[in-house]
Amino acid sequence: MLRKRIFRVTVTSLIVYFLLYICLFDVHTTTDRREETGSSSVEGTTRRMNVLFIIADDMRPDLGIYRDAEERSTPSSPVVNTVTPNLDRLAGRSIVFRRAYAQYSLCGPSRTSLLTSRRPDTTRVFGNFHYWRLTGGDFTTLPQYFKRMGYRTLSAGKVFHPSTASSNDSDAISWSEPVFCKNKDRLFEDRSRWPGWNVVHERNRKGTLLTDEYSVKYIARRLAKLADQARTGRRPIFVALGLRKPHLSLTCPEKFFDLYPEDDEFYQLADYEGGSIATRDKLSITDLELGRLRRAYFACVSYVDDLVGRILNAVESLGLSNNTVVVFMADHGYHLGEKNYFGKYRTSEVANHVPMMLSVPGRTDNGTDSWSLVEVVDVFPTIVEAAGLGTIPRCADLPPGTDLCTEGVSLLPLADDPKGVVRDSALSQVLRRQGMQYSLRTTRYRYTMFAHVRHRLDERSGLYAVNVYWDPPGLWTELFDHVTDPEEKINRTSDSNYQNIKQELVDQLKARVQTVRGVPVVLPAAGSVDFSVIDT
């Protein structure tokens, strides 16, 4: 009897285990099938569009569509007739955000803020070698969210900042397939004169192998392969193309230099009087070299335009135009001698103002402009909503450390009401040896001030608190009036006529910083902090 009882129990247990295995196998198989076919919780409730996301590197909004003298993005520069027919064509069916600003004028921090929709004080990424999942939190990225929603996500070129800034694998968790990045360790470009700062001589430009060429060809091939499923909606796609130009070195095919004959316009700057040009690498640039660099920069802008045109043509030829959201933007701007500086990493207008346009079929077909202030952190929720995936929750409404939320706002309402306003200011920052430099851009003014910032770990919650000590002694502030001084040459911070507006801007800037992550910010009284012990 005992043996029979043991036998029955054993058989029963085996049957239960077998049935449990079948159930678990079915769950995993169903999940895998959903990932493969692109089904998701929102399927069937709205039309899901494909997404083509293109980002350029170090690119100012010096495009043909910004050519009007009254609308110039960099008023200190001459009106260079930038040749960008393809981007102008895209703008004709897009909403162009004329006042778009980066949160940090350096590649790594800016792209991290863009792709996580979190500000630098939240990601704690202030350089090109910090990985937000280790410094700030395990935040969901833009492509990762689309992948989670059943999209096939793929990428080529520089989308995330490479190397340790994206875990040495371009944040592989965000993509459905390995990221294509040809020649990521070295570029076949002439760098014989300055490392990364040269203008290649004409005889060396022909035949150079440029990374962006490989990236564009790869994306075109993948689009052709995936077009059938993407066109019918069976498996929508999120395609990201990161173009390395017009980042240094300023090399591109010779025909794009031919678009810009050498003449005086490349040597004329309203606020440049010759002499020493400052750079981050403390290089010496002569007047002649500066003019050649400027000419080469605009040639690279036209090269970017040509690359974008090839991808747009591929989308159109494959019949994907009617159900593909297209975004073009840059990570930040770039000084080309303005204010005697060549480079980025500034809180100035030139370093933070970026081109940005959004094409949504059926919604922006006639093309329009928005003059509302917008920020790079707004891109994530905007693309998600434009693709038909609903809205992303606000971080301010959720506990700190939440993996999926936005510190931006959706810009899609501006497509229906271009004269609307979604923000009354844009906030940028850079970390300097003296402390964190915050800059607030309103419709009329730019105000910049220093603060000492400490990211303190709360042992009880395991979260970082942001402690800000404002206006440390001995450091300067800046106040520019863009109505009377669009080149930002006259600092009004001590002007008696601007003291009331200065105080309003100070209060507004502090309030903006205090809301980051919804974490309480400590603001001790002036003189009560020993700045020598502050970890910046």
470 and 417 both lie in a single domain: no
Q: Where are the alpha helices (DSSP H) in 341-498?
A: 349-352, 379-386, 413-416
With respect to residue 278, please indicate whether it lies within any of the assigned structural domains. Answer: no
pLDDT at 531: 32
In the chain, the amino acid numbered 141 is T
* Contact (CB, 8 A) for 58 and 344: yes
218 and 113 both lie in a single domain: yes
Buried b (16+ CB within 10 A) or exposed e, 505-517: bbebbbebbeebb
Q: How far apart are CA 442 and CA 453, in angstroms?
A: 23
Ramachandran class of 372: left when φ > 0, alpha when ψ lies in -120 to 50, beta otherwise: beta
8-state DSSP, 473:
T
384 and 479 both lie in a single domain: no
With respect to residue 349, please indicate whether it lies within any of the assigned structural domains. Answer: yes
Q: Is the peptide bond before 246 cis (omega within 30 degrees of 0)?
A: yes
Buried b (16+ CB within 10 A) or exposed e, 121-147: bbbbbbebebbbeeebbebbbbbbbbb
With respect to residue 37, please indicate whether it lies within any of the assigned structural domains. Answer: no
pLDDT at 253: 86
Cβ neighbours of residue 131 under 8 Å, at least 6 residues apart? 125, 164, 165, 166, 167
With respect to residue 438, please indicate whether it lies within any of the assigned structural domains. Answer: yes
8-state DSSP, 18:
H
pLDDT at 435: 85
pLDDT at 19: 45
Q: How far apart are CA 379 and CA 372, in angstroms?
A: 14
Two structure tokens written together for 257:
């230099």
In the chain, the amino acid numbered 376 is V
380 and 524 both lie in a single domain: no
* Contact (CB, 8 A) for 128 and 165: yes
Strand partners, 238: 51, 153
With respect to residue 512, please indicate whether it lies within any of the assigned structural domains. Answer: yes
437 and 419 both lie in a single domain: no
In the chain, the amino acid numbered 234 is R
Look up the pTM and report it.
0.84
pLDDT at 337: 85
pLDDT at 466: 66
Number of domains within the chain: 2
With respect to residue 213, please indicate whether it lies within any of the assigned structural domains. Answer: yes
Tokens 């980002």 belong to 55
In the chain, the N- to C-terminal Cα span, in Å, equals 77
- pLDDT tens digits for 347-396? 999 999 999 999 999 999 999 999 999 999 999 999 999 999 999 999 99
Point out the domain boundary residue: 395, 423, 451: 423
Q: What is the mean pLDDT of the chain?
A: 81
54 and 171 both lie in a single domain: yes
228 and 330 both lie in a single domain: yes
pLDDT at 461: 58
Strand partners, 441: 426, 446
Q: Which element (helix H / strand E) includes 24?
A: helix 2-37
pLDDT at 283: 59
In the chain, the amino acid numbered 505 is L
487 and 400 both lie in a single domain: no
Q: Which element (helix H / strand E) includes 219?
A: helix 211-232
Q: How many CB atoms lie within 10 A of CB 456?
A: 13
472 and 349 both lie in a single domain: no
With respect to residue 199, please indicate whether it lies within any of the assigned structural domains. Answer: no
Cβ neighbours of residue 410 under 8 Å, at least 6 residues apart? 378, 381, 382, 384, 385, 391, 392, 422
- 195: burial class by Cβ within 10 Å (0-12, 13-18, 19+)? exposed
Give the CATH number of the domain where residue 106 resides: 3.40.720.10
Point out the domain boundary residue: 400, 423, 446: 423
Determine the angle formed by the axes of helices 287-317 and 211-232, rounding to 10 degrees: 20
Q: How far apart are CA 36 and CA 30, in angstroms?
A: 10
Q: How far apart are CA 211 and CA 186, in angstroms?
A: 9
Q: How many CB atoms lie within 10 A of CB 6?
A: 10
Q: How far apart are CA 1 and CA 511, in angstroms?
A: 79
Q: How far apart are CA 370 and CA 347, in angstroms?
A: 23
* Contact (CB, 8 A) for 218 and 225: no
With respect to residue 256, please indicate whether it lies within any of the assigned structural domains. Answer: no
Point out the domain boundary residue: 376, 393, 423: 423
Residue 515: what are its φ and ψ, rounded to 5°?
-85, -5
pLDDT at 198: 46
User: Which structural domain, as residue segments, surrounds residue 419?
Assistant: 50-189+208-251+301-423
Give the CATH number of the domain where residue 528 resides: 3.30.1120
Two structure tokens written together for 293:
């660099």
Report the greatest alpha carbon distance in the chain: 106
Report, as ranges of residue numbers, the positions in the chain whose pLDDT lies below 50.
Answer: 2, 9, 11, 14, 16-45, 69-70, 72-78, 184-207, 270-271, 518-536
126 and 217 both lie in a single domain: yes
399 and 305 both lie in a single domain: yes
137 and 234 both lie in a single domain: yes
Q: Which element (helix H / strand E) includes 470?
A: strand 463-470
Question: DSSP strand E in 397-444: where?
Answer: 426-432, 435-441
Buried b (16+ CB within 10 A) or exposed e, 397-431: eeebbbebbbbbbbbbbbbeebeeebbebbbbbbb
pLDDT at 281: 57
